Amino acid sequence: MSTATHPALPAVIALIGPTASGKTELALEIARRFPVEIVSLDSAQVFIGMDIGTAKPDRETLAHFPHHLIDLITPEERYSAAQFRSDALRVMTGIVARGKVPLLVGGTMLYFKALSEGLADLPQADLGLRAAIDQEAARRGWPALHAELAKYDPATAARLAPTDSQRIQRALEVLRITGRPLSDFWQRQERDALPFRLLTIALVPPQRHVLHERIARRFRAMLAAGLIGEVEALRARYRLCADLPSMRCVGYRQVWEMLEGRLPARELAERGIFATRQFAKRQLTWLRAFRDAGVIDHEFDLESAFSDALTTARILSAIETHLEQAPRPNP
């Protein structure tokens, strides 16, 4: 049951949507008008030193509008959805105690699902099995393992790209450890109620080409801002490899392949834009699933939000009503 039906709980706002949809701009506008503190909902922004390719807010913006849950770990480390949920609940509780409202902002839908619905009781990672799956992928390729997954867990395979090595690996790991598909765990999970009253705003551009144009402009801007140099500096500072979650991030993976000589420099922009568009497509698939489940309460047209004062007013009015209906936290 959505916590939005319980007005006695403290208020929280979630601003979610695909990459390059303009979440940060709208979040800052909300922060200028309401007593909120921003909590990142982005699995790439947790990495220290990964600033350009993750569209992390610059230092001036962070000085005026601090963001929680960014710059948590080095690119050598890993950060799970369970860790995010624990950290997010702790941070959100602190925000409420200070008399403010948590504003979750980002596009990592797995994090949003983990926070809003709880986590499935999955088995612990088996490093030996993961290594064996990696070796198998090296021989057969990840698309072949994706096809294998589709035979036994079609629901999970349907939402994963054939090259999504990290999630294919985890789904096969769970399947081989337990004999049960990953989708079965999610279906049977006991919902861990979010102790907040949630208002979710999804930014979904009405025409796909609008989002594609924004993605292309932003990726080219990242390259112009020094994305290649950023990756080179990370490689020099840390012990990195292509299989780490940090270097699997969209943009970083393509630059890594170029630096390794597997991708011609002239194709970098095109490949990076294509990969980002595919990533956005997967995010939109997640968003549709949330909407069908009744989690998304409001959906607004972002392009109109910045050009149409009436649409902006609708967004801000929805937030204002949401906050008025929730109890005021003690300062």
Give CA 91 to chain center in angstroms.
Answer: 18
Q: Is residue 129 pLDDT above 90, yes or no?
A: yes
Q: Is residue 296 pLDDT above 50, yes or no?
A: no
Q: Is residue 316 pLDDT above 70, yes or no?
A: yes
Q: What integer pLDDT is reported at residue 93 of this predicted model?
A: 96
Contacts 24+ apart (CB under 8 A), 125-130: 125/173, 126/173, 126/177, 129/173, 129/176, 129/177, 130/169, 130/173
Q: What is the pLDDT of residues 210-254, one digit of tens each?
A: 899 999 999 999 999 999 999 999 999 999 999 999 999 999 999
**pLDDT classification of 297: cutoffs 50, 70, 90:** very low
Quote the Cα angle for 163-115-95, to 5°: 130
HSE of 65 in the Cβ direction (CA atoms, 13 Å)? 24
Q: What is the pLDDT of residues 242-291, one digit of tens each?
A: 999 999 999 999 999 999 999 999 999 999 999 999 999 999 888 877 65
Q: What integer pLDDT is reported at residue 312 of this predicted model?
A: 61
Domains and CATH numbers, the chain: 3-119+190-207+282-325 (3.40.50.300), 127-188 (1.10.20.140)
**pLDDT classification of 309: cutoffs 50, 70, 90:** low
Tell me the pTM. Answer: 0.76
Q: What integer pLDDT is reported at residue 71 of this predicted model?
A: 98
Of 82-96, 220-234, 303-317, least confident by mean pLDDT is 303-317
